[in-house]
Structure 1
Amino acid sequence: MKPPYEITPEILRLITSISEKIGEVNANYLNKPSTLLRKQNRIKTIHSSLKIEGNTLSVEQITALLENKRVIGPKKDIKEVLNAIDIYENLDKYNPLNEKSFLKAHKDLMSNLIENAGKYRNQGVGIVKGTKVEHLAPPYENVKYLMKDLFEYLKNPNEIELIKSCVFHYEMEFIHPFLDGNGRMGRLWQTLILMEKYPVFEYLPFETLISKDQEKYYKALSESDKSGKSTKFIEYMLKVIDISISELLNFNNRTLNEKDRLEYFSSLNKLEFTRKDYMDIFKDISSATASRDLKKGVELNLFEKIGKMNKTKYKLITGYNTVYNL
């Protein structure tokens, strides 16, 4: 059965807005951000998703762990981050349509943090806020059947991916299939579902917006619980996604220096190009600036110059998609 929700005018507006922005992302080659931007966004994703669950490590500490440096902090928090780094560095290992892959991801994410990581809960659970039970999850005996149905829903080709990802996120939180790690699994799996159709979501840290105003996140979950359908949560998550893509598009509007431009352009892997192709990406620079950039790129062995005058072309020397010391 399809989980219950309604298509509202707000949902239609947001899907249209997101679809237009994804088109703009692809047109500007932002579907594969630069190496540096990808790293920064991955750190933001890990920091924000774990912060929502009470992890105390800072962005700087997570960056240090990503670079295999020593960090002083609570053992549990450090282990949570190390597990998350391993997950987000290997997202292609997990199949968003496969339940066994889902359980494997939970095992990897919660390894050495809880007993029975990667297994559905075997006891009843409720979410308590203060002295009030905010949410009573379905009986544990029903979990495996509910999750099986939810994965069947994911295979429905007639559902829009943007909606499907939100519905899965909400329904999984409602079922609460694990004793711990449900929140981070819901956000991780929504990312994986979206990545299937839109690769840019691998680098889109929408968790950052959730962590900045967690009350709205929990309110959307609560309102959907009370109404018996995921409509409110779909509206909330689509707004978060829409804002996140807008922030990515703002990348092109910031002031880039020579290093930024060369690093970003090299990461696009355009094997052969002209000065005009370079200027099509960086629309606010002059032809003289573009020529200086490309000359510097040749000096650094990033590009090889072919031809002369108006027949000049450049060839990318592969293997140089790291941060350059200019």
Structure 2
Amino acid sequence: MPDYQPPLTLTPRMLALVAEISELVGRLSAQEQSRLTPQLRRGNRIRTIQASLAIENNTLSVEQVTAVLDGRRVLGLPAEIQEVRNAFAAYDAMAGWQPDSVEHLLTAHRLLMHGLLDDAGCYRAGGVGIYRGEKLLHMAPPPSRVALLMQDLLAWLAATELPALIASCVFHYEFEFIHPFADGNGRMGRLWQTLILSRWQPLLAYLPVETVIQTHQGEYYAALAEADKVSEASPFVLFMLGALREALLEAVAGDQVSDQVSDQVERLMAVLQPGVALKASELMELLHLSHRHSFGKSYLKPALAAGLIEMTDPASPRSPAQRYRRKLL
């Protein structure tokens, strides 16, 4: 057993969340493997990448991220487009990594920050503080301690007997506390928690929990700050377990209505003939729909995420002239 043990107080609420999450995973896993087609896996991965980068102020939409990954032209900042390509490469390589390997950790950072950071794949050489505006929220340990602190944390991860659900949250917090890299620590922490969880239950590699974190971004940072204040991971563990629970509830609900959603997408594909490009309003008219939000949520976005249709102008997803057509497979 390693000498280092991250400070943590297990609470009844944590254990109750672990039990509930485990039950949700069980309910999902029985049918998820057959339902999780390559297209759906890709759609979830796109949502994960877009949300994780949006937390770091990347402005690209889900539609634009999809266009980048399809190799189509997108009007956006070059750095933001590079972030998308890097993130997809990192998540794609995740299956070959071990969570307690420093070599794999550095390789992941090198992929995530390729072309964005001169010392990508290397621990930081300078001090770093985390600010909101002009307010200092956290001063990370000095660079001289980073390698040893990460060695201790990875050794703890390899040996801990905590449930993976809790251990992954603790690692995520401790990683952000150490802040081992000059940049990219937030997206790395979320990536590595996903990796840890995927070793416990493979379907969690495609659970877009980052979309929940993005929705509750203020609470995410508040939980990190509260954990710093009390000098232990417990507040952040509670937040992340709640986020995982919410993401799984959404996934289970989606599974329960998957046949209905598939019917809706099939109806859309039936009215969108090959070689024809139509506006959203024209598609709604053909489908006899009047509620634009429901059309986008239940018809248009699932079809885009599944790669069944594409925009004629992905560089300007909100253009009034935007049309949609069947994607050539």
TM-score normalised by structure 2 residue count: 0.77
What's the CA shift string for 1:240-291, capped at 9, x where partnerless? 0011111111123216259669x9xxxxxxxxxxxxxxxxxxxxxxxxxxxx
Q: Distance between the aligned counterparts of 1:128 and 1:259, measured in 2?
A: 45
**1:41 matches 2:44:** yes
CA contact (8 A) 1:25 1:31 kept: no
Q: Which residue of 1 aligns with 2:220?
A: 217
Q: Which residue of 2 aligns with 1:163?
A: 166
Q: Which residue of 1 aligns with 2:272?
A: none
Displacement, 1:89? Answer: 2.2
Match for residue 92 of structure 1 among 92, 95, 106: 95
Q: CA 1:260 to 1:141, structure 2 compared with 1: closer, same or farther past 3 Å?
A: farther
Q: Which residue of 2 aligns with 1:290?
A: none
Q: Which residue of 2 aligns with 1:138?
A: 141
Displacement, 1:157? Answer: 4.6
Q: Which residue of 2 aligns with 1:206?
A: 209
Match for residue 235 of structure 1 among 223, 238, 257: 238
CA contact (8 A) 2:209 2:243 kept: yes
Unaligned runs of 5+ in 1: 264-322
Displacement, 1:130? Answer: 2.3
Q: Distance between the aligned counterparts of 1:226 and 1:251, measured in 2?
A: 38
**1:125 matches 2:145:** no
Displacement, 1:68? Answer: 1.6
Q: Quick one: which amino acid aligns to residue 12 of structure 1?
A: L
CA contact (8 A) 1:15 1:162 kept: yes
Displacement, 1:212? Answer: 1.1
Q: Distance between the aligned counterparts of 2:260 and 2:65, measured in 1?
A: 27
Displacement, 1:122? Answer: 0.7
Q: Distance between the aligned counterparts of 1:232 and 1:259, measured in 2?
A: 39
Q: Quick one: which amino acid aligns to residue 119 of structure 2?
A: N
Displacement, 1:2? Answer: 1.1
Q: Distance between the aligned counterparts of 1:37 and 1:60, measured in 2?
A: 15
Q: Distance between the aligned counterparts of 2:178 and 2:165, measured in 1?
A: 20
- Aligned pairs for 1:1-326 within 5 A: 1-30=4-33, 33-254=36-257, 256=259
What's the CA shift string for 1:56-92, capped at 9, x where partnerless? 1111110111212121110100000011111122221
**Runs ≥4 residues deviating over 3 A:** 29-32, 257-261
Displacement, 1:27? Answer: 2.2
Displacement, 1:186? Answer: 0.1
Q: Quick one: which amino acid aligns to residue 141 of structure 1?
A: S
Q: Which of these two proteins has the greater Rg computed from alpha carbons?
A: 1
CA contact (8 A) 1:87 1:105 kept: yes
Q: Distance between the aligned counterparts of 1:31 and 1:161, measured in 2?
A: 24
Q: Which moved more, 1:183-192 or 1:32-41?
A: 32-41
What's the CA shift string for 1:185-232, capped at 9, x where partnerless? 000000000000100111100000111121000000000000000000
Q: Which residue of 1 aligns with 2:320?
A: none
Q: Distance between the aligned counterparts of 1:154 and 1:79, measured in 2?
A: 31
Q: CA 1:200 to 1:260, structure 2 compared with 1: closer, same or farther past 3 Å?
A: farther
Q: Distance between the aligned counterparts of 2:76 and 2:60, measured in 1?
A: 7
TM-score normalised by structure 1 residue count: 0.77
Unaligned runs of 5+ in 2: 267-325
Q: CA 1:131 to 1:16, structure 2 compared with 1: closer, same or farther past 3 Å?
A: same
What secondary structure is seen at the aligned counterpart in 2 of 1:29? Answer: helix
Q: Quick one: which amino acid aligns to residue 156 of structure 1?
A: A
Q: Distance between the aligned counterparts of 2:200 and 2:25, measured in 1?
A: 11
Count of residue pairs brought into register by the alignment = 265
Q: Distance between the aligned counterparts of 1:34 and 1:260, measured in 2?
A: 16
Cα RMSD of the aligned pairs, angstroms, is 2.1
Q: Quick one: which amino acid aligns to residue 146 of structure 1?
A: L
